[in-house]
Structure 1
Amino acid sequence: MPRCPNPDSTSKLNHYTVMKFRDKLDNLSISDYQGLSSPGLTCYLNSVLQVLFMTEEFREAVKRDWSKSPTATIDFHLGELFHALEGDVAKTHNIIKALGIKDVFEQRDAAEYFEKILCRTNPNASEIFKGELNHKTTCLNCKMTNNSTNFFWVLPLSMGDSKSRSYSVLKGWSSFFQAQRVSKDNQMFCSGCNQKHDADIEYEMIHCPDVLTLLLKRFSFDYQQNRYVKLHCRVDVAQTLEVKHCRYDLYAVVHHFGDLMGGHYTADVKSFETGNWYCFNDNTVKCINEVYVKSGQNQIRSSTAYLLLYKMGKFEII
């Protein structure tokens, strides 16, 4: 006569099977997005391309007209790449050639290539990254004011010197718009006084871009060492910023690992499709929600953050 199974042992067996199956699922390298297959050491380009692909308005604007663009233009190669990325791992060989990159093993700067791509992209697509600043100079002797306006893709934030141990993006952002006094050897020539005087210099945002890009100036010249060095200090990255009564929400971070002579770039991006955060590391992509989804915290601490991208919120702050 067959024996009836022990309910307790069956329960333990089922629990063990479920846990083992869960572990296997957790270890699978499945992602909602694809990586990039690229020659040499072009991670600086890969990180930027993934950020642009994951920027909804930019991706859609490029895709609308890419097939009609001449094959020699950057728009065509961007559209081709974005189309491929929607289904599988995509190759960057054509866009590398279009950008004139001849030595794929040479270390280059992600911020530089971010701007290069935007300068060569259809204005209908790149416009969302374009802001405008007013540069205001006030003579402290006659109070005469000079204004000049400039467009920008990226705003650089100074991080101090190599001895700094920590840096706050919120404080750096506020400092960028504070008036800076120049005096002594740095006095400005005033056309009203017809001579040099102390002056106040300040910036004012006169056009807020849909996507605000900040560059953390981690590479600076150390006069004691007489060479450029990288600042490895910890950075408190604000997840929201306010400017001109608008809220900006962090949605992408380009990281730089290593030092000035050699390093590696990756990009963390929040998907507008799934709402999840992903790390794009050349040909691999993985979900990293635990790094950015922290209830009640507006800041993420990082010692590798380099480029920060913020998307303008839907509602104004009153």
Structure 2
Amino acid sequence: MCHFAVYEQCDAAECLKMILHQISPQASELLRGQLRDTTKCSKGHIINAQTNPFRTLPLSLKDTPDTTCSVEKVIQRTFWTKALIGNNKLHCNKCQQKTKATTECELVDSPQILILHLKRFDFDYNTRSHFKSHRCVEVPCELQLKNKTYKLYGMVNHMGSIRGGHYTATVLSEDNTWYECDDAYVSKVEEQPFATSRTFSSKTVYLLMYKALQGCHYSRYDQGGANDLNLLSLNDNHGTTYSEESSLKKAANTKSCSGDHKVSCDEKIKTTSSSAKKMITEHKVELINCLSADHSYILQHAHAKQIITDRQYQNIKEKSPSTPQETVTDLIDHVILKTGPESWTAFLEVLKLPDVLSTYPRLKEIINEMLRSNSGCNVWHLKQGDHM
């Protein structure tokens, strides 16, 4: 797992991801939602279907024609059905050929606390370079998503360029007043957001934190869980802003599970994550040799699935000199050493995608060996339809 230090240049989204790995399982459940990705051929056969958890919802700002875009429209575009035609056709096992297909993402379960990650830092495949989007984004005070109404209570802003900058946080207090947190300085925002409109326009907002107006019952959590929620709110009941260092220490030292629930919860997480990590580690050499046949393809998939962050993707891709084997080695090392349990299992899920299996013919053999050597492991398995 990555480690951050105060005063070092770090990405706020990466730091948030690390904090979320440290909080208690009960508090983590408040941020947990589920997305279902479904790919179907033109005849309606399901090529691939996956349901995966998320704790931050990434929103791309690319491919938006307008200078200004709204959060609501970006969310709608995220859940549009997309057509896969031409060179993007996929192989359908039932049709026994490559065919036109559609892919769609569906929000299955919405969390009580919704964190939106506006992907201002992205990669342009045409110019093969990274860039920062300075697009103006209209942020709503309230957001309707699935069966919940959310109210904005925190924003993280980035001022600067792709090569460096400065982060601040804008936080809503209990008296419904917005405050700006800039390093050690906290001050009331002069022009209060949403004072005259339900939306607020910003060219710097990077992370948005919403909480559900109904159904969010914090009382069922003990003191430890409540402390973790204070951490996510960026301030305690007295309005004192935590430094990044003290926040990380507080999250790491919080104990919130108790009794039998703590044992069952911890053991389940430990078993699942250690099994996934073991499968990757034990077959690391075989995976490197296999995936090196097209190192850019697997790297792009890992990036698209949020297994590695934008910064990690950039570091691996721009590392020079670098052979295909070194690139894949760096990718697997990032997955194993510098990310958490969700990324380990997500990486295994990527390996079983139909287009990935067809790109790397030897991958099926490695997968079967994984399954034989880890028999009885419930972390990951190929569906019957994935075998050829």
Query: Do they superpose with TM above 0.5?
Result: yes
Task: Name the amino acid aligned to 1:213.
Answer: I
Segments of 5+ residues of structure 2 without an aligned counterpart are: 217-388
Q: Which residue of 2 aligns with 1:231?
A: 133
Q: Which residue of 2 aligns with 1:306?
A: 206
Q: Which residue of 1 aligns with 2:78?
A: 176
Q: Which residue of 1 aligns with 2:4?
A: 101
**Corresponding residue SS for 1:114:** helix
Confirm whether residue 153 of structure 1 aligns to residue 153 of structure 2: no
Task: Name the amino acid aligned to 1:133.
Answer: L
C-alpha displacement at 1:145, in angstroms?
6.0
Cα deviation digits, residues 7-40 of structure 1 (max 9, x gap): xxxxxxxxxxxxxxxxxxxxxxxxxxxxxxxxxx
Q: Which residue of 2 aligns with 1:251?
A: 153
Distance 1:186 1:277, change over 3 A: same
Mean Cα deviation higher: 297-306 or 192-201: 192-201
State the 4+ residue runs in structure 1 displaced beyond 3 angstroms. Answer: 142-146, 161-164, 222-226
Distance 1:175 1:161, change over 3 A: closer
Q: Distance in 2 between matches of 1:275 and 1:282?
A: 22
Distance 1:315 1:289, change over 3 A: farther
Aligned residue pair count: 216
Confirm whether residue 122 of structure 1 aligns to residue 122 of structure 2: no
Task: Name the amino acid aligned to 2:78.
Answer: F
C-alpha displacement at 1:161, in angstroms?
5.3
Q: TM-score when scaled to structure 2?
A: 0.52
Confirm whether residue 287 of structure 1 aligns to residue 191 of structure 2: no
Segments of 5+ residues of structure 1 without an aligned counterpart are: 1-97
Q: Distance in 1 between matches of 2:205 and 2:139?
A: 8
8 Å CA contact retained: 1:135, 1:147: yes
Distance 1:113 1:281, change over 3 A: same
8 Å CA contact retained: 2:67, 2:136: yes
Task: Name the amino acid aligned to 1:300.
Answer: F
Distance 1:121 1:283, change over 3 A: same
Structure with bigger gyration radius? 1
Q: Distance in 2 between matches of 1:142 and 1:223?
A: 30
Distance 1:190 1:106, change over 3 A: farther
Distance 1:105 1:270, change over 3 A: closer
Distance 1:289 1:249, change over 3 A: farther
8 Å CA contact retained: 2:153, 2:211: yes
Cα deviation digits, residues 145-183 of structure 1 (max 9, x gap): 642110111111111159862221111011111111111
Quick check: which one's strand share is greater?
1
Distance 1:108 1:161, change over 3 A: farther
Higher relative contact order (Cα pairs below 8 Å, separated by 6+ residues):
1
Q: Which residue of 1 aligns with 2:347?
A: none
Cα deviation digits, residues 31-71 of structure 1 (max 9, x gap): xxxxxxxxxxxxxxxxxxxxxxxxxxxxxxxxxxxxxxxxx
8 Å CA contact retained: 1:162, 1:231: no
C-alpha displacement at 1:105, in angstroms?
5.4
**Corresponding residue SS for 2:192:** helix
Task: Name the amino acid aligned to 1:251.
Answer: Y
C-alpha displacement at 1:186, in angstroms?
1.4
**Corresponding residue SS for 1:100:** coil
**Corresponding residue SS for 1:232:** coil
Identity of paired residues, percent?
38
